[in-house]
Structure formats: structure tokens, C-alpha cells
Copies of this chain bind each other. A is one copy, B any other.
Amino acid sequence: MELSPSEQLEFDRLKNIVREEHLKRGFQPIDTPLIYRSDVLLAKAGGETEKQIYKIDKGDNDLSLRFDLTVPLARYVVDKQGELSFPFKVSQVAKSYRGERAQFGRYREFYQCDADVVGRGHLDISYDAEVITLIGAIYDRFDLGNFTIRISNRKLLSGFWQALGLGEKSLELTQLVDHVYKMGAEEFEKCLSDLGVSDDQKPLVQRFITPEDTNELTLEGLKTLGVDNAEFASGLDELTTVLDLLKAQNADERVKIDPSIVRGLDYYTGTVFETTLDGREKEVGSVAGGGRYDNLANNYSSETFPGVGVSIGLTRLFSALKHAGVIVASKQTVVDTLILPFGPEQFAFSYWLAEQLRAQGENVDVLTQQMKFAKKMAYADRTGVKNVIVVGESEVETGQVKVKNMQTGEEQAKNVGQN
């Protein structure tokens, strides 16, 4: 995805909001390499990832491009643990690479915006609430309409299957729930049967995965489901705590407890969450997700680094929003004021004036390219600058300039004097 300058400005607006919110909340920015030894990258990954990876052909080393920001973070934490203080709150806004067949909304080169809190040995549950709060803060500022953050806890599902005597099929059943919204009720029931769920148990499964109207009712429903299992109880406990912490921050308005949320099979072990834009759930898909993991670095260290993180796939989001017409590429430039000197005799004054305006915080360009006046105005119009100041002989002499607003056409006289 290569953007035109005006699209790039909108993309950068979103990227800068993410960076600012990370900073404001104490997430330290780090910058990790794109290239790793293939065995390091693939230590955690399955066969599907191996197929998508970009291998590098260089000397004897088996190198590859990273396919996400998780392995780079794991390596960073293990390598720099002596210099870090835990919990380590960390921000990565950077590109990754997957050699997928090019298809709509999937890019081979894509930005991810990850925020993680990593502990050593132990990490308090409160950080689960913190990264969920972060999603809300970012999407509030994105200003892309209402959104919903669906949260659950993986221990609920896992404990639920055990309590039903279906622990052996836990993985498959969880995978099935992950796809429940993509299939009809009949197909779902058939799949449940295939995996050994009895007809008696099916209503319980339905009750379990269907959220109630309020989070309180959903939690109450989970409590009264009659599931007698320690892992389920622990998951319910954590979920309740996270919701309470969100309430304490007035950050629960957009949050909906939804026990069908899974977020992939391998990685997450506790809290999980997924975000969608209201009314654009299918069109755009998940726009921010993440969760709690037991150990970031189990392939690289004997120490335990539990963490919780959230990832926003900014390239996919941007492309989907562009396609949905939410983001419209308009004439737009970084330039606030464009100064148009008549000719080289007015360059010095124009440069001087530009510096004055820059000192006042404006982005200013001076168009010194020689072209006809009409072409200069066309350039100003085409690039979408806000203001234009034409500098001729009399402007230099008197220090009186006219600032022309390119949207309204209004001109405002301004005495700039020259020192």
C-alpha cells in the first residue's frame, strides 16, 4: 500500500494518535530489527506462518523478515532484561511482512501498533484493564464513529469444556466457537454434535456463549450456569476484576463481555479482547485486539515473562476505511502558508517572511520555481494549502502583505515589517 501525499497525511494522523496515547500512558517506544534468524522467528510459529515468511538470501545465515512484533519484543526483553525495569510498558509502531497472496485488505507490508506490559515472574491483572482502556482512548481520538470492545477470558472456555467432560476436544471446540458468528445455527449445532457435545448440553453451550444485554447480567449468567470447575471460576474472577477496574476508570462504556471471543488458539491464556466499529463489523472486521499471555519468551529464556498486549493493524484498518468511504483522500498538504515571490528579487524577503511564520508554528513553503503567475496559483490550489501570500516589489518595499485564504478567497492585510 503506497499512499499519495494527502492520504499519507491522514494515515500519519492515525499513527501519531497511537504514538501520543502510548506515550501519555507511559509506554516506552522501542525500535526492533526487521531481520532475524529464521529459527528465532519460527520458534513459536506454526506451519502456516512458515509458508508466509519472507526468507532472505544472503551468505550462510538463514535469515527472514519478521511477520509480527511479538518475536522482536520477546528478543528485546530477553536481551535487555538487565537494563529494563518490570513491569515494562512498551510501544512498537512499525512494519511487519507476510508473503500472503495479495488480496483486498491484506498487504505484504503492513503497520502494526503494539502496546504491551511485560512483567518478570508475575504481572498484576490491572494491566489487562489498562491496555483495554488504551484502545478506548485511541479510538475515541480516531473519531471513526462508535465502537465496541468485546472481552472475555480464555479460562472460561477451557474450564467450561472440562466441566462438560469434553476436555479432550477443548481445542477443536474453542476453534468452533471462534467461528460461531460466521456460520448458521444449524451448522453450529451439527459441528457441536460432531465434536461430542450431547443434545442435552447444547442449550448450555448456547447460554454460555451468548452475551446478555448488560455486562452485569452476562457475569451473573456465567455465575449461575452451574459450571463446577476451578479454571472456569478463576477466569470468571479475572473477568469480573477487569470489568471492575474498567468501571473505576469510567472506561467500560464501550466494553461488552462476550464469552465467544477467542483471539486465536496458541498464544493467549487469560483475558482476550477484540474491537469492532459499530455497524461496520463485517465490512471492516476487528480493528484492535489482544490479550494476556503466560510467557512472552518461553522459547528464548528460562525466566517467565507474563504480559498483556494490544495490537492495532493500522494498514488493514486504513485500507478498509478507505474502501468503506470513511476516509476520503482530499486535497491536503502539510503546508499552512505558501509564499509566492514574483521573481528572484523577492526571494530574500520571502525567505525572511517564511522564517517569521515558522517561528509562530506554521509550516511554510516558498515557491521559488519560475513559472507564470497563473500556474503558481494553480499550484497553490492543487496542493491544498490554506493561505497564500504573494510577494512583489511593493510588498518588499512597504512590508505590507495580503494573506489570502484559499478556501474563502478572503484577503487579510498584514504588516510584517522587515527587521
Interfacial chain B residues near A358, Cβ < 8 Å: 24-25
Roughly how many angstroms separate A369 CA and B334 CA in the complex, as a whole number? 42
Stretch at the interface among A123-131, A281-289, A320-328: A123-131
Q: Are A365 and B89 in contact (CB under 8 A)?
A: yes
Roughly how many angstroms separate A89 CA and B27 CA in the complex, as a whole number? 33
Roughly how many angstroms separate A269 CA and B408 CA in the complex, as a whole number? 43
Pick the residue among B32, B119, B249, B352 that contacts A351 (CB under 8 A).
B249
Report if A8 contacts B (CB, 8 A): yes
Copies in the complex: 2
Residue of chain B at shortest CB distance from A95? B34
Q: Which of A1-42 contact B (CB under 8 A)?
A: 2-5, 8-9, 11-12, 23-35
26 A-B pairs whose Cβ atoms sit less than 8 Å apart in the complex: A2-B32, A2-B33, A2-B80, A4-B83, A5-B30, A8-B28, A8-B29, A9-B28, A11-B31, A23-B334, A24-B358, A24-B364, A25-B364, A26-B365, A27-B334, A28-B334, A34-B95, A34-B109, A54-B56, A56-B65, A58-B99, A59-B99, A122-B369, A127-B369, A130-B368, A248-B347
Taking beta carbons and an 8 Å cutoff, which residues of A are in contact with B?
Answer: 2-5, 8-9, 11-12, 23-35, 54-59, 65, 76, 79-80, 83-87, 89-90, 95, 97, 99, 108-109, 119, 122-124, 126-127, 130, 245, 248-249, 333-335, 338, 344, 347-348, 351-352, 355, 358, 362-370, 379, 382-383
